[in-house]
Amino acid sequence: MYLLLVSVVLLLWYLLFRNKRRRLYQLAEPIPGAKDTFPYLGLLKNSYNAVDNVVSDIENISRETFKTGGIQKMWGGPLFFIALTNPADIEYVSKTCLEKDLLIMKSVRAFTGDGGIFAPVSIWSRKRKVIIPAFSPKILNSFMDMFSRRSADLVDKLKELSGTGTFDIWPVINNFTLASIAETSLGIKNLDGINDVVVSDFLKSVEEIFKVGSTRTFSIWLWPDWIFKLSWQYRHFTKHSNKIINITNNIIRKKRNDLKHVDLNVYENQTIFDHLILLSQRQNGFTDKELREEITTFLLAATDTSAVAICNTLLLLGKYPKIQEKVHEELVRVFENDKEKSFKDVLNDLKYLDMVLKESLRLYPPHHLATLFLFKLV
């Protein structure tokens, strides 16, 4: 009797739930559906091993979506997803619906707080007014000499490694991008005051945080905060997140201290961080916490994306020696064997290299998946 009552209540609840969402089902009906999905579970059937398979799953979904005209619907239990692969559709939706998907953002925001790109739109649009001027062409050009110097150091490092057998290039490039971002965004040269152990600690922690973030995103049982907080993943996440927070706090404290005696209005060689402080003083000011969130977001977003782009380009150049030869010829011609020439002087002449980089980014985009929340009909 008791069981019957529970079943009736559950059935009624389910019917009401479906009735409330009938418009969604109507709209979803004509969209082609993903093959190989389980009734009711949908994509969630993959969640037990989703982290291991995430890249191949995304690849498969993209291929299937290409075949169905660039649009495909998918269910993850009660959650409704639409995959898009047509650039024009993606551009339209990403301009119409700016709010990020809460599922993925939940894991990211636990770490970055409301840092720029990861923040809800209301916060992001206010912060953007401060951040975007810090990326003006004039400011970016002022970093060219630093990029040249750091790139020359990287070449020396790679020369040392060449001929020593196979080696993993990822940590070398990842260290290089972190050091470059730290110098341009924070003005920390040679990561002074921060030794190699701290740098590799930072990178290790970033990696661990990404791992926990993707595990949580693709593990339905870790979505509720209270369950996540009981898990070993949460303890692991907190340990690494605290490490990064400490490192960034130290960087910010040091930088703020250095800037105390400087009039930022007349100060040359400003970094992005200097600009954020300067622009903050005028309007839409950032609090210390917000500054830390922005810097953490910069360091995370810029280090990994740039390192992935460089590594993929190097791999492609290794795979296609004829293209590599052409890039080399252009560099020799443009630099005319003059090692003193700065990258700044020749940037616009490196046309072939520019095409190679763009093709590498097109084939292997470091940021290959964006999830947005559809809050209205598009």
Residues that bind ligand HEM (CB under 6 A): 116-117, 128, 131, 181, 185, 298, 301-302, 305-306, 309, 366-367, 370
Cβ neighbours for 219, distance < 8 A, ≥ 6 positions apart: 47, 48, 50, 51
Decide whether 77 or 366 has the Cβ nearer to ligand HEM. Answer: 366
Decide whether 106 or 236 has the Cβ nearer to ligand HEM. Answer: 106
Q: Provide, rounded to whole angstroms, the least separation between the CB of residue 125 and ligand HEM.
A: 9
Decide whether 61 or 272 has the Cβ nearer to ligand HEM. Answer: 272
Q: Provide, rounded to whole angstroms, the least separation between the CB of residue 98 and ligand HEM.
A: 8
Decide whether 244 or 302 has the Cβ nearer to ligand HEM. Answer: 302
Q: Provide, rounded to whole angstroms, the least separation between the CB of residue 305 and ligand HEM.
A: 3
Q: CA 223 to CA 106: how far, in whole Å?
A: 9
Decide whether 173 or 301 has the Cβ nearer to ligand HEM. Answer: 301
Calculate Rg over the CA atoms of the chain. 24
Helix (H) or strand (E) holding 75: strand 71-76
- Phi/psi for 100 (5° steps) reads -75, 155
Q: CA 275 to CA 281: how far, in whole Å?
A: 10
Report whether 57 contacts 34 (CB < 8 A).
Answer: no
Tokens representing 176?
A: 């290089």
> Which residue, among 130, 137, 62, 140, has the nearest Cα to 285 in the 3D structure?
130
Cβ neighbours for 195, distance < 8 A, ≥ 6 positions apart: none
Strand, coil or helix: 82? strand
Q: Provide, rounded to whole angstroms, the least separation between the CB of residue 77 and ligand HEM.
A: 25
- Phi/psi for 31 (5° steps) reads -80, 130
Decide whether 128 or 326 has the Cβ nearer to ligand HEM. Answer: 128
Decide whether 177 or 233 has the Cβ nearer to ligand HEM. Answer: 177
Strand, coil or helix: 264? coil
Decide whether 237 or 273 has the Cβ nearer to ligand HEM. Answer: 273
Beta strands in 115-238 (DSSP E): none
Helix axes 196-217, 102-112, angle to 10 degrees: 150
Report whether 349 contacts 331 (CB < 8 A).
Answer: no
Q: Provide, rounded to whole angstroms, the least separation between the CB of residue 100 and ligand HEM.
A: 7
Decide whether 245 or 361 has the Cβ nearer to ligand HEM. Answer: 361
Q: Provide, rounded to whole angstroms, the least separation between the CB of residue 346 and ligand HEM.
A: 20
Q: Provide, rounded to whole angstroms, the least separation between the CB of residue 259 and ligand HEM.
A: 19
- N-term to C-term CA, the chain: 47
Look at phi and psi of residue 100 and say left if phi exceeds 0, alpha if psi is from -120 to 50, else beta: beta
Q: Provide, rounded to whole angstroms, the least separation between the CB of residue 309 and ligand HEM.
A: 4
Report whether 378 contacts 372 (CB < 8 A).
Answer: no
- Report CA torsion sign: 216, 220, 226, 232: negative
